[in-house]
Chain A
Amino acid sequence: MGKYILRRVLLMIPIVLGVATLSFILMKLAPGDPAAAYLGDKATPENVAQLRQAWGLDEPMIIQYLQFLAGLLVGDFGQSFIFQTSVLELLTLRMPATLLLMLVSLVFAVVISVPLSLWVAAKRSAASAIVSRVFAATVQGMPAFFVGTLLILVLGVNLGIFPVGGYGSNFGEHLYSLVLPGLAVALTICPVLIRSLTAALNDSMSAEYTNFALSKGLSRKRTVIDYAFRNAGITGVSILGIQVGHLVGGALVVENVFAIPGVGSLLMEAVLARDYDVVQALTVIFGVLVVLVYLLTDVVYSLVDPRVRLGA
């Protein structure tokens, strides 16, 4: 077990390094000069040159790259010029909202997808198959911002049940204002979850152990819940892990629609203001976050399903 985890961690290192390197290269390809952008229109060339030197922007590329990597290791992500503070501080300020949003979305996604898939597998009727399929196909094509806007329109503006934006000031208000955004993000990952859960449940329902359960007289409903779901649920967990990228992407979009002060809206603000260090740091952090979740999913998976690590 320890060996398996160790090997997965070692396999992760080159990918994390690749993520950092790609982010670095992209930022160097971006047009414009961070120092000039930081100082604004009224800066003299001398001032810009001075700042470039202070920031090490006149060093050879390889030195800058190594400095960037060293900075990442100690949590030094550079400076934001629109907020006039360190990127690290910005991150600690705005990461919680995004993480909470992702958590709320995850809960919604599970609450919507699991019962629907169980229902389809237990019913095995034309109607249930069509309902779940139409739902998945409809939701699949909805851009997250459109779902968000619709929710604002119906539940926020017209019915006035939920706030149309913002984040509130205490934890209760946070949760309350994250209901609509969470739902919008959840709907973006539901189709895949429903499809794979249903398929996994169907798979389990044609296995021998479920046949046994059925033939000893257990109802189909009970068999689905007590037998098939035990196995299919594991698949669901790994699908959720794979979906983390979509979760982050959805959060990024939806935060902007609902004006939630998370890292997603931070990225958009930074991109529009050409705040280089912030964009670079967020690119790396999003990438590493996804890799970490993949790792976590693999480890959890191997804990609950020993076939994975034995077969690997």
Chain B
Amino acid sequence: MTEPITSSPADTGAGGAGGKPPRTRGGTASRATPTARFTLPLPAFLRRHNLQLWIGAVILGAMVLLLAIGPLFVTGDPNRQDLLNTFAPSSIAHPLGTDQLGRDVLSRFLHGGRVDLIVAVVAVIVPFILGTILGSLAGYFGRWVDIVIMRLADIVSAFPFYVLVIVLVFVMGNGMGSIFVAISAVSWVAYARIVRGEVLVLREQEFISACRASGLSTPRILTRHIIPNTVSQGVIYAMSDIVLNIGVVVTLSYFGMGIVPPTADWGQMMNDGQQYMGTGNYGLILWPGFAVVIVSFALALIGDGLTNTLKPKR
């Protein structure tokens, strides 16, 4: 009934027994590491069949399917206004009613969800690649390469996530492009730390020594033998990173700094909903809000499930 032993950050000694980066000289480097993925004790039947992975995948799949094919059935233009028919209750023409400009809420919900999810998923790619490259360089070469990259990571992660993202959007202006750049500029740090920690462990292992002894070039060792072994940890983190990104996109749009209107998106809808909360029309807040929660919940389950499947048994 006992879990595979997960060491707490407190006693992860140098050298890192688990899949976690070892504690560096008491610095902030390892402190802010989001890698420490802790597993809660789970009943045996859940663990054996990795049910959470499947439950998460089914929920997420259903949501994606809804957003993908929903607009084929709900053909209304999400931006078509009908000022004589604002805040209409649900009807056959408008199953979820209309908003303050008489736009169809269901249609906006479906189109908005597409925008938010696509942005959130795509925004994972660049930080993933950038972080993997920088992290493996830092971990493999050590010395000044490590110092430069990890100090940069320290500086970036000294800023609270939302503060830096908002300031970056301030610098670059609203819109999807800015969201991508802002997220990329901040999120690579987490991947870099995870990969660096993995590489620190990997490079001491015998198969890497064997690679060196047989005369493989450093780039080849890195790309063929080191990085492939770090990817699974990156993928696991990417699941919670998508959740984080959905939060950022929706929050920025809620504050009018993200997806530019009139393009429908969940954050904007929720802002509209809050402004007109007095009218008793709560659908605008609740539909997108709970959709975000459901998607994030599914991703959290998938992340935990992947942790159980992919975690190397060292």
Please tell me if the beta carbons of B41 and A19 are within 8 angstroms of each other in the complex. Answer: no
Please tell me if the beta carbons of B167 and A283 are within 8 angstroms of each other in the complex. Answer: yes
How does the 8 Å CB contact mask read for B246-274 relative to A, with 1 for contact and 0 for none?
Answer: 11001100111100000000000010011
Contact residues in A for B42 (Cβ distance below 8 Å) = 126, 129, 133
Contact residues in A for B40 (Cβ distance below 8 Å) = 120, 129, 132-133, 136, 195, 198-199
For residue A252, CB closer than 8 A to chain B, the reply is: yes
Contact residues in A for B85 (Cβ distance below 8 Å) = none
Contact residues in A for B301 (Cβ distance below 8 Å) = 137
Contact residues in B for A138 (Cβ distance below 8 Å) = 293, 297
How does the 8 Å CB contact mask read for B24-37 relative to A, with 1 for contact and 0 for none?
Answer: 01111001100010
For residue A79, CB closer than 8 A to chain B, the reply is: no
For residue B306, CB closer than 8 A to chain A, the reply is: no
Task: Give chain B nearest CB distance to A25 CB in angstroms.
Answer: 10
For residue A277, CB closer than 8 A to chain B, the reply is: no
Quick one: which of A118-158 are within 8 Å of B by CB? Answer: 120, 124, 126, 129-130, 132-133, 136-138, 140-146, 149-150, 152-153, 157
Please tell me if the beta carbons of B8 and A246 are within 8 angstroms of each other in the complex. Answer: no
Please tell me if the beta carbons of A287 and B299 are within 8 angstroms of each other in the complex. Answer: no
Nearest A residue to B37, CB-CB: A195
Contact residues in B for A7 (Cβ distance below 8 Å) = 26
Complexed CA–CA distance, A231 and B10 (Å): 9
Q: List 28 A-B contacts (CB under 8 A).
A: A15-B151, A22-B155, A22-B156, A133-B304, A138-B297, A140-B243, A141-B243, A141-B247, A144-B251, A145-B270, A198-B41, A199-B8, A200-B10, A202-B3, A231-B10, A238-B10, A244-B160, A245-B161, A246-B160, A250-B162, A252-B160, A257-B274, A271-B167, A286-B160, A288-B158, A294-B31, A298-B31, A308-B26
For residue A248, CB closer than 8 A to chain B, the reply is: yes
Contact residues in A for B293 (Cβ distance below 8 Å) = 138, 141-142, 146
Task: Give chain A nearest CB distance to B33 CB in angstroms.
Answer: 8
Contact residues in A for B14 (Cβ distance below 8 Å) = 311
Q: Which of A26-34, A56-64, A87-95, A171-179 binds B?
A: A26-34
Complexed CA–CA distance, A196 and B2 (Å): 17
For residue A232, CB closer than 8 A to chain B, the reply is: yes
Q: Which of B89-97, B135-143, B168-176, B191-199 binds A?
A: B168-176
Please tell me if the beta carbons of B170 and A249 are within 8 angstroms of each other in the complex. Answer: no
Complexed CA–CA distance, A126 and B40 (Å): 11
Contact residues in A for B168 (Cβ distance below 8 Å) = 26
For residue B72, CB closer than 8 A to chain A, the reply is: no
Complexed CA–CA distance, A10 and B43 (Å): 47
Please tell me if the beta carbons of A311 and B13 are within 8 angstroms of each other in the complex. Answer: yes
For residue B229, CB closer than 8 A to chain A, the reply is: no
Complexed CA–CA distance, A287 and B226 (Å): 34
Nearest B residue to A142, CB-CB: B293
Task: Give chain A nearest CB distance to B231 CB in angstroms.
Answer: 23
Contact residues in B for A14 (Cβ distance below 8 Å) = 151
Using A126-B43, A198-B38, A305-B10 as known contacts, list a sample of 5 further A-B pairs with CB atoms less than 8 Å apart, ordered by residue number in A. A8-B26, A31-B171, A141-B299, A143-B251, A202-B3
Nearest A residue to B271, CB-CB: A145
Also in contact, A253 and B163, with CB within 8 A (given A18-B151, A146-B270, A149-B274): no
Please tell me if the beta carbons of B292 and A142 are within 8 angstroms of each other in the complex. Answer: yes
Task: Give chain A nearest CB distance to B194 CB in angstroms.
Answer: 15
How does the 8 Å CB contact mask read for B99-139 relative to A, with 1 for contact and 0 for none?
Answer: 00000000000000000000000000000000000000000
For residue A241, CB closer than 8 A to chain B, the reply is: yes
Also in contact, A283 and B8, with CB within 8 A (given A19-B158, A140-B300, A206-B2): no
Please tell me if the beta carbons of A203 and B5 are within 8 angstroms of each other in the complex. Answer: yes
Please tell me if the beta carbons of A282 and B163 are within 8 angstroms of each other in the complex. Answer: yes
Also in contact, A279 and B299, with CB within 8 A (given A149-B270, A202-B3): no
Task: Give chain A nearest CB distance to B144 CB in angstroms.
Answer: 14
Please tell me if the beta carbons of B43 and A238 are within 8 angstroms of each other in the complex. Answer: no
For residue B159, CB closer than 8 A to chain A, the reply is: yes
Contact residues in B for A144 (Cβ distance below 8 Å) = 251
Nearest B residue to A276, CB-CB: B170
Task: Give chain A nearest CB distance to B259 CB in angstroms.
Answer: 14
Quick one: which of B1-30 are within 8 Å of A by CB? Answer: 1-3, 5-11, 13-14, 23, 25-28
For residue A267, CB closer than 8 A to chain B, the reply is: yes
Contact residues in A for B170 (Cβ distance below 8 Å) = 30, 271, 274, 279
For residue B166, CB closer than 8 A to chain A, the reply is: yes
Task: Give chain A nearest CB distance to B284 CB in angstroms.
Answer: 10
Task: Give chain A nearest CB distance to B295 CB in angstroms.
Answer: 7
Complexed CA–CA distance, A291 and B156 (Å): 11
Complexed CA–CA distance, A250 and B157 (Å): 16
Complexed CA–CA distance, A153 and B243 (Å): 24
Contact residues in B for A196 (Cβ distance below 8 Å) = 8-9, 36, 38
For residue B209, CB closer than 8 A to chain A, the reply is: no
Complexed CA–CA distance, A289 and B301 (Å): 33
Complexed CA–CA distance, A130 and B42 (Å): 7
Nearest A residue to B56, CB-CB: A137
Task: Give chain A nearest CB distance to B102 CB in angstroms.
Answer: 23
For residue A297, CB closer than 8 A to chain B, the reply is: yes
For residue B201, CB closer than 8 A to chain A, the reply is: no
